[in-house]
Amino acid sequence: MSQPELEATDRKILELLAGDGRMSFTDLGKSTGLSTSAVHQRVKRLEQRGLILGYGATIDHEQLGLPLTAFISIRPIDPSQPDDSPERLRGIGEIESCWSVAGDESYILKVRVAAPTDLEDLLARVRAAANVSTRTTIVLSTPYENRSVV
């Protein structure tokens, strides 16, 4: 069953909430020309439809002591083994995201660590836990991240 088409006003609400998940219903109403109660109803409907999955905080990882971000591409050493890398790696806290991808690699992991030596240790743990080979890209800077594409 396909989802109903998204109205321009709902799209605007999603865009505003993606930029500031704590925006009040009153401020959403001012930005969309709707009453506070109408915005509240629309947001609840967007949540029920699964378009809004949750609300979160944007963390300054550098201040948290995790200034080094890297992407680790993994692929199984033995392709005949079960494709269970996400489960095998789930308990490794430095892994922020895990994406299944098409191409030479099976998954790409986004990780955050304090220093290059911590990344080296993490790579060894990832290889051992999932029996994979890795290719790593270190992030030098992040001009923007988590932009809304609504």
pLDDT tens-digit map of 12-58:
999 999 889 999 999 999 999 999 999 999 999 999 999 999 998 88
Number of C-alpha atoms within 13 angstroms, CB side, residue 140? 0
Kindly report the pTM of this predicted structure.
0.82
User: Does the 62-138 domain belong in CATH 3.10.350.10?
Assistant: no
* Range(s) within the chain of domains with CATH label 3.30.70.920: 62-138
- Asked whether 76 and 131 are in contact (CB, 8 A), the reply is yes
Q: Is the pLDDT of residue 4 over 70?
A: no
Task: List helix spans (H) across 49-94.
Answer: 85-89
